[in-house]
Amino acid sequence: TVTEQVTGIDIVKAQIHILDGFAIGTPESGVPAQKDIRLNGHALQCRITTEDPEHNFIPDYGRITAYRGATGFGIRLDGGTAYSGAVITRFYDPLLEKVTAWAPTPAETIARMNRALREFRIRGVA
């Protein structure tokens, strides 16, 4: 996700095109040749989990009673298991969401991530 943010390349889509036989460096693959890849800005990713730091990071489970994710320019959420009413069981990965912040400079990226993390509200899993 971080690589996608700074290169603009959809990696999963590119993998599918390459699997279909299109070569890297061709327009059909979706991936430019290595020498043509340009980085744009900075990205940072944090993972929102149900792990409990007070108990050696053992995953918590239960029902999410309240959920509000982060939004805004330069913020990307990947996940889908976190929503009000979702039941988190102990039989699956405790990852709820991946939050990626992008901005032109490292300081702006950190500020965006800080804001995004402060916007999150998750209640009920314990």
| Structure confidence at residue 126 (pLDDT) | 62
Which residues belong to CATH 3.90.600.10 in the chain? 41-126
| Tens of pLDDT, residues 62-84 | 899 999 989 899 999 998 778 89
| Structure confidence at residue 90 (pLDDT) | 82
CATH superfamily of 41-126: Phosphoribosylglycinamide synthetase, C-terminal domain (3.90.600.10)
Residue written as token pair 């991936």: 31
Q: What's the predicted TM-score (pTM) here?
A: 0.83
Nearest of 8, 61, 64, 75 to residue 36 by alpha carbon? 8
Any idea how long the chain is?
A: 126
Residue 115 has pLDDT above 80, yes or no: yes
| Structure confidence at residue 50 (pLDDT) | 87
- Give how far Cα 112 sits from Cα of 70, 72, 116, 124, Å: 10, 9, 6, 26
Tell me the residue type at 31.
Answer: V
35 CA to centre of own chain:
27
Residue 8 has pLDDT above 70, yes or no: yes
Tell me the residue type at 99.
Answer: V
